[in-house]
Amino acid sequence: MRQRKIRNLDEKLNNLDMFQIHEPERYKGNWNKPCYVEIGCGKGQFISRLARLHKEWNFVAFEGHRSVALHAIEKVKGAECKNVKFVLKYVNSLEDVFQDGEVSGVFLNFSDPWPKERHAKRRLTCGSRLREYGRVLSPGGFIEFKTDNDGLFRYTLEEVADQNIFQVAAVTKNLHMDYPEEEIVTTEYEDKFSGKGKNINYLKLVKRG
SS3 track for 164-187: CCEEEEEEECCHHHHCCHHHCCCC
- Write the pLDDT tens digit of every residue in 55-102: 999 999 999 999 999 999 999 999 999 999 999 999 899 999 999 999
Output the average pLDDT for the chain. Answer: 96
> Looking at the domain 1-10+33-91, which fold is it?
Rossmann fold (3.40.50)
Percent of the chain's residues with pLDDT above 70 = 99
How confident is the model at residue 3, as a pLDDT?
A: 62
- Write the pLDDT tens digit of every residue in 141-168: 999 999 999 999 999 999 999 999 999 9
The residues, ordered by sequence, that sit 6+ positions from 196 with a Cβ below 8 Å of its Cβ are none
Domain ranges in the chain with CATH number 3.40.50.150: 1-10+33-91, 97-209
Q: 94 and 37 in contact (C-beta within 8 Å)?
A: yes
What top-level class would CATH report for the domain 97-209? alpha beta
How confident is the model at residue 91, as a pLDDT?
A: 86
Which residues have a catalytic role annotated?
112
> What is this structure's pTM?
0.96
Confidence of residue 5 (pLDDT cuts 50, 70, 90): confident
Neighbours of 97 (CB within 10 A): 24
Strands (E), 55-102: 58-62, 84-87
